[in-house]
Structure 1
Amino acid sequence: MNPPPAAEQPFELILARSQMRLPVAPGESIADVLQLAGVAIDTLCEQGVCGTCVTRWLDGTPDHRDSCLSADEQRTHMAVCCARSHGPTLTLDI
């Protein structure tokens, strides 16, 4: 049996600068979880088109779902409004 897609997998978001650890449930966006935790993050389109929420990631394997970043940019950055994690943890440079 194959595991569910990344959108359905919960994962833990780690904020490197504050060492804050936040659970991200299936169906929740990283941007929403950050905002609910009091972490200021700008969003606009919330569809991965505008690039307003682009944030540097440090560890883990992002599931990029944006259309604003090139493959080269995705090596270090992600759109937190629509991205998920392919693994159990994802660390952001926040």
Structure 2
Amino acid sequence: MHQFEGVYWARRNDWDPVRAAMEGSSFYDLPPVLRWFSGNIGYHHVHHLGPRIPNYRLKECFEAFPALKSRQPLTLRESLACIRLKLWDEERQELLAF
């Protein structure tokens, strides 16, 4: 997921891929059954750091590297509130609702 409060975004010349992975994609705290059905997509920041990591290894990678745990998780409830965020305000550097 890339639509949440505090998300990172930058133009091509200023793009930092590590920062984009850690601050521009979510760590989605899902219940175990939803983790299974979604292919562990809740570890979205891990996926962006290593897109070739198979979905069944994302949690293992997350657990192996403590720095990955620094990402504040989004809950299911919080993620539903983020659906409204659609527009990027370049001056304020934040996503806004219509």
- Find the structure with the greater CA-based Rg: 2
Identify whether the pair has TM-score above 0.5, normalized to the shorter chain.
Answer: no
TM-score of the superposed pair, with normalisation by structure 1: 0.27
Q: Which one has the bigger helix percentage?
A: 2
Q: Which one has the bigger strand percentage?
A: 1
TM-score of the superposed pair, with normalisation by structure 2: 0.27
